[in-house]
Each structure stands twice: as C-alpha cells, then as structure tokens.
Structure 1
C-alpha cells in the first residue's frame, strides 16, 4: 500500500481522521484499518506514530483540552469582569459545536471513558485546569459582589458537565443556532448567579459584540498574531461597557 501520509504532517493527519471517525462512530466503532484506508497508509504507520488506539484517544484528549484552555485563558484575560468572562466561556462552550465540531463531539462522546484515566494523566490534569479556570471566575464574581454566594466547586462542575452533553441533542442545521442556544445557557447560568441582572440582555444577545469577540478568539489559528491582541469586537465591547 502506498504511504501517502508520510510528509511532515502525517501524525497530524492520522489524528484528524481518527478524531472524525470517533465523532461519527464512537471510539469502539473506530479502527486503525478504517483510518489507514482513508489515508492510504498501512496500519503499521499508525502504530509507529501512536502505538495503540488508547494512545490516539489520549492525544485527541490532550490536544483538545490544550486548545480550550488557551482560549479560556484568553477570554478571562481580555474580558473586564467575572460576569463577562463567564458569559464568554459559556458562549464558547456552545460555539464549539459548530466551529470545532468533530473534535468537540469526539471529546464529548468519550468523556466518560476519559474520566477513567489515571489521576495523574495529562488529560485529567488538563480537565482539572479548565475546571479551575471556571472555578476562579465564579470565585472572583462572588468576591466582587457580582454573583451570589454559592458553592463554587459544585457550580463549576455543573457548568462543565452541562456543556459535555450538548453533542447528544444539538443539531448544527437545526432551528436554533449555536449562538442562540449559547444565549439560553448564559441566561440560565448567569440568571441564577447575578445579584443585578440588568446586564443579561447584552450578555445574552447572540448577535452582540460579546459573542463576536468570543468568535474571534476561538476561530483564530493556533499561534496566530490574533491570539496575542484584543479582537476588534472586544474593544468595541469595552467601549460600550
């Protein structure tokens, strides 16, 4: 068999096809033979790069969470208040269903399997780091008086957990867009936290500047200059605020 995927990006191509197969068929329904056949390579080349299917899933898990953590940190660093930071993170959680769908569905449909990894695995550490970002935002909101006093650990886990089931019911071509569903998630979550709810209409507007700013962040290519400066829509948001 011709080893077509033998260039510098061969391991990335393997991971990309594996990810799409997991998104479409689940981990148990995905095989090295199917990935190899689509790429026109031998199964041995996949083994050479990743060893086992479990290690490929781990690579998917790690690469996905690294990207999400980078974006979450950027949202937290660039949005001025805990309220806007949490709104941004919540909108992003739904927008991933469209703007990084294969990787998001592959991660979410196997999240229960991933939760069985060793406590010190890289993937488990990254998930704890992401939840820690949520925890920090909720803590900051309580400390600033923007949010009611709540059990921030439980709230953070509930927010993360709720987002992981969206793949089971959200339809990209359905009646409601990802931005519209994200608006409902923001309204549900912040509506139960905010001491003063006057900002909710602006935060939940699917066509507003906050959603536009989040979109700029999550669609910027990894390592691009855009990741290092505030999006134009975020600057507009800061002016409006």
Structure 2
C-alpha cells in the first residue's frame, strides 16, 4: 500500500469525522493531504470508493483472522475464541474507520453496498459453520438455533464501537476476554466449559 494512499485514508477519516461524508469534497481531501486531484484519482475512483475502502480495511481483517482461526485450530471452541478476539480487537485497530463507516454508510452506492454485504455474509457463514461444528462434536449446546446464536454474538460485539475508548479502564484484550466469558457460559456444554476453564 502506498504512502499517499495511506495518507488519503487517514486524512479523509479525520475530515469525515469532523464534517460528515457530504460535508467533505475531494478538493478538501486533496488540500488536507497536500497532493493533487490526480494523486487522489490514481488511488480511488471516487469518494464513494474511498468510503468503501474504509469499510473493506476492517472487514478484510476479521475475515482473514476467521480463516486463520479455522486453519490454526481443529476444535470449534478454540476457533470461536480466536474469531471473537479478532472481532473485538478490530475496534481498537480500526476504531476511527468503524465509527466513520457506521455514520456514513447510508451514502454508499448500491454496487459498494453489495460488495460489503457479500463479505459480511461470508463472515457470518464462517461463524455459523464453527457453531454448527461445535454442536456436532458436543462442545456447543445443540438446542441453540445457529442463526439466532450467531446474530446474538455479532449484535453484542458490533455495539462495541459505541462505547469503546482506547484510553478507557480496560484494554481491548480484557474486553475480549469478558465477551468470551459471557458468550461461552451461554454456548458451551458443561463438559466443554470445564475443559476450557
């Protein structure tokens, strides 16, 4: 990734945070970055694509981490633990990206919304696969409906951006451990929970 591309993303995040997506023009971004319009359009087709890339940065991170967790561990409860840690960690690594995207995503064009939906759907599929495999091997309670369970996990963790502060009293890893404790006590079978602890 080029230095200018990084600079454009960083400065646009600051501008979008302060002025909103519609309150910022490509000219504003170019001036803030001390570059040319040519420099901007070399890296991004439009302001829309820039907003999409802001989202893509953090969704790709959690997708890659989920795939790595599946490869790294052969047991669903450890795959799930690793996925949850990465899903929470994203709010520390890409906090500004997530806040800006959640405030401004309604302005995205349909084509970018579709790409985002595909990646989010893929992440949800991986999460459901892990839960189903955990149910099959006796680590996760079989009576829990897979879709409701996965949506509950995502709903809980995805709200983190609303309250997380980097300088807060708990580190991101401590927050992740708290989530995992709450989720695992609801999900895991008695035997799996005893082994996990």
Among 61, 67, 87, the residue aligned to 1:73:
67
8 Å contact 1:27–1:110 — kept in the other structure? Answer: yes
- Unpaired runs of 5+ residues, structure 1, are 1-6, 202-241
Confirm or deny that 1:198 pairs with 2:194: yes
8 Å contact 1:23–1:103 — kept in the other structure? Answer: no
The structure richer in helix per residue is 2
Alignment of 1:46-85 (within 5 A): 46-47=40-41, 49-85=43-79
TM-score by structure 1 length?
A: 0.68
8 Å contact 2:91–2:98 — kept in the other structure? Answer: yes
More displaced 10-residue stretch of structure 1: 154-163 or 27-36: 27-36
**Aligned counterpart, 2:136:** 143
**Aligned counterpart, 2:26:** 32
- Unpaired runs of 5+ residues, structure 2, are none
8 Å contact 2:79–2:130 — kept in the other structure? Answer: yes
Q: How many residues align?
A: 194
> Partners in 1 of 2:104 and 2:54 — Cα distance?
11
Post-superposition Cα deviations, 1:31-71, rounded to whole Å, max 9, x if no partner, equal 43432222112456435643432221122223332232112
More displaced 10-residue stretch of structure 1: 40-49 or 141-150: 40-49
**Cα pair distance change 1:42/1:69, threshold 3 Å:** same
**Aligned counterpart, 1:96:** 90
Q: What SS does structure 2 have at the residue aligned with 1:80?
A: coil
**Cα pair distance change 1:120/1:35, threshold 3 Å:** closer
**Cα pair distance change 1:184/1:28, threshold 3 Å:** farther
**Aligned counterpart, 1:126:** 119
TM-score by structure 2 length?
A: 0.81
Q: RMSD of aligned C-alpha atoms?
A: 2.9
Q: CA deviation at 1:122?
A: 1.6
